[in-house]
Amino acid sequence: MDSKLKDKRLIDYLLPVLVWGLVFYSTWAFSHKLCYNQIYKNFKHESIAIGLICIICILDITLIIIWIQLIWIYGPGRQPKIPPFILIDNGIRNNFGSIEPTATASIPPPVFYECDINGYPIWCDTCKSLKIGRTHHSKRLGYCIPRFDHHCMWVGTVIGKSNYLLFTQFVFYFSCLLLIFWISIVSYIKRIVDYPHTGYKLDPNLIVILILSVPFSIMTLSLFLSHVYFTFMNRTSLEIINIKRNKKLNIKKFVCYLDKTSGNRYVIEMSPEDMANIWKKRSIWENFKEVLGNNFLFWFIPFDIRKRQVKQNNDPECIQSLDYILGFYNEAIGEDAKLLIEQKIINSNYLKTFRAFGDQYH
């Protein structure tokens, strides 16, 4: 990693350090100044005080566990290097005149891929790899991130396919923590100022927590709800921004699609509206499962144990498929997007058609 990238990574941790500082300060002030001094000692609501302290500590530990996985254990993920697709006859002819494709250097093109106006797939110059749909090259990290969502300065990392579930959980549990802070203070505020031994004053530390937690809880809760909506729509934050920008600037995208019955490939122009729902599956449940994982229970447990390893096959004789190389990072278009593309082909609404040499390996 070069020094510029290293510097960037150090700056990335400044805001998270501040966030954690505030969380630990608030936990101390809330437990000591509100739960112990007021609720436990003054009002003798022992079980409420102990219950609140326990919930806050559990939430703090949950957030730390999620954050460690989010930042260090998994990170946003890294798209495996994808060799060029076999679009033209680039094979080596053996003694019998038949063609043996150079398996280590190229792979059969998938049925669907995003391309340029000529049907060539998108290439990342820095990673020297093809980029599949939803992948975005992060300058900050220096490599391609599958299903890139955004860079979150509060947690200090890029959010991608690998840590998206953890990020959503982090935002959810953080909103819960902030809500508990201010709702508890507000519920006791009248009793505290009416209580003669407090001098009719709320402890200044509790006023600080109240001022901080109200706006931040609104912020995190709306962030959580928007990510639930993005999951429902199977869209990333970056895709939402791009759709808006492309609509405004009228930027078209192109996709290449293999019609399996004729064996022809078609290059199709896609409007921003067409691209908006390209990854969305028909069933809501499918969208949630695709983004958050198959096991419903694990959506709430702060351990993301999904396997992310990319399968490695170093056998040069074996023609690897894109699905095989990508493993966990594989992406599939939705049923409706497929129908839309097929309808465009039927209506001759395509830019060009060709036969890809590698399609014989499907």
Whose Cβ is closer to Zn ion: residue 129's or residue 287's? 129
Four-CA torsion 200, 51, 26, 178, nearest 10 degrees: -100
Whose Cβ is closer to Zn ion: residue 159's or residue 267's? 159
Distance CA 207, CA 308 (A): 44
Whose Cβ is closer to Zn ion: residue 9's or residue 81's? 81
Encoded tokens for 16: 């998270």
Choices 55-63, 105-113, 123-131, 151-159 (CB under 5 A): range interacting with Zn ion: 123-131
Selected binder of Zn ion within 29, 127, 238, 341 (CB under 5 A)? 127
Select which of 152, 176, 256, 318 is catalytic: 152
Q: How far apart are the first and last CA of the chain?
A: 38
One-letter amino acid of 204: P
Per-position x/- string for 47-86, each x denoting binding to Zn ion as judged by CB under 5 A, each - no binding? ----------------------------------------
Choices 136-144, 169-177, 206-214, 264-272 (CB under 5 A): range interacting with Zn ion: 136-144
Contacts of residue 82, defined as CB under 8 A and 6 or more positions apart, other chains included, come to 107, 129, 130, 131, 132, 322, 325, 326
Q: Taking phi first (over 0 means left), then psi (-120 to 50 degrees means alpha), and beta for anything else, what does residue 200 get?
A: left
Choices 53-61, 119-127, 298-306, 307-315 (CB under 5 A): range interacting with Zn ion: 119-127
Which stretches within 250-310 are classed as H helix? 272-276, 284-292
User: Smallest distance from the beta carbon of 74 to Zn ion, in angstroms?
Assistant: 19
Distance CA 131, CA 150 (A): 17
Helix and strand numbers, DSSP H then E, in the chain: 10, 12
Whose Cβ is closer to Zn ion: residue 137's or residue 253's? 137
Whose Cβ is closer to Zn ion: residue 91's or residue 142's? 142
Selected binder of Zn ion within 134, 136, 137, 147 (CB under 5 A)? 137
Selected binder of Zn ion within 66, 144, 152, 176 (CB under 5 A)? 144
- For residue 194, the 8-state DSSP code is H
Size of the residue set binding Zn ion (CB under 5 A): 5
Strands (E), 202-335: 253-259, 264-270
Q: Measured over all CA atoms, what is the biggest interatomic distance in the chain, rounded to whole angstroms?
A: 100
Establish whether 57 is a catalytic residue.
Answer: no
User: Smallest distance from the beta carbon of 78 to Zn ion, in angstroms?
Assistant: 9
What is the DSSP pairing of strand 143-145 with strand 112-115?
A: unpaired
User: Smallest distance from the beta carbon of 127 to Zn ion, in angstroms?
Assistant: 3
Selected binder of Zn ion within 48, 50, 99, 124 (CB under 5 A)? 124
User: Smallest distance from the beta carbon of 126 to Zn ion, in angstroms?
Assistant: 5
Please report whether residue 281 would count as binding Zn ion according to CB under 5 A.
no
For residue 215, count other CB atoms closer than 10 A to its CB: 11
Choices 140-148, 163-171, 251-259, 352-360 (CB under 5 A): range interacting with Zn ion: 140-148
| Residue entry with tokens 């078209």 | 252
Residues annotated catalytic, as ranges: 152
- Interface residues with Zn ion (CB under 5 A) are 124, 126-127, 137, 144
